[in-house]
């Protein structure tokens, strides 16, 4: 990352090395990190069903398991809808974070 053209150009302009690292290198390096973090958070959201059921913690996922066992379809659909909305909001937050990190995304 430090050998890229934009970093060498900033060095040639006399920009302080710390400013180059913070404003150019880290911002570009955070995009894949945010992507992987978002994927892991989506997996974590899906894994809460298993964790709450195994450890008998009260929560939305335990309520989902009980609704599935009771074959209460309106409850199952409602809970799946809530979890889906949470997942969509998580993806929206990640997309907005992309726009903050990379100005090229704002204009696309």
CA of residue 29 relative to chain centroid, distance = 15
Q: What is the extent of the structural domain holding 63?
A: 31-106
Q: Give the tokens for residue 1.
A: 């990352």
Mean pLDDT over all residues of the chain?
Answer: 86
Residue 66 lies in a domain: yes
Residue 7 lies in a domain: no
Q: What is the C-alpha to C-alpha distance for residues 39 and 50, in angstroms, rounded to an integer?
A: 18
Q: What is the C-alpha to C-alpha distance for residues 52 and 44, in angstroms, rounded to an integer?
A: 12
Is 103 or 14 the better-scoring residue by pLDDT? 14
Using an 8 Å Cβ cutoff, are 74 and 66 in contact? no
* Highest mean predicted confidence (pLDDT) among 25-34, 53-62, 79-88: 79-88
In the chain, the number of structural domains is 1
Residue 77 lies in a domain: yes
Q: Three-class SS of residue 56?
A: coil
What average pLDDT does this structure show over 4-14? 85
């Amino acid at each position: 990352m430090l050998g890229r053209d934009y970093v060498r150009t900033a060095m040639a302009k006399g920009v302080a090395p710390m400013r180059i690292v913070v404003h150019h290198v880290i911002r570009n390096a955070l995009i894949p990190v945010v992507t992987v973090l978002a994927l892991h958070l989506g997996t974590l959201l899906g894994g809460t069903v298993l964790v709450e059921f195994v450890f008998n913690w009260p929560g939305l996922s335990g309520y989902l398991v009980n609704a599935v066992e009771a074959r209460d379809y309106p409850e199952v659909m409602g809970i799946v809808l809530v979890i889906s909305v949470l997942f969509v909001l998580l993806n929206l937050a990640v997309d907005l974070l992309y726009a903050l990190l990379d100005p090229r995304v704002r204009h696309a």
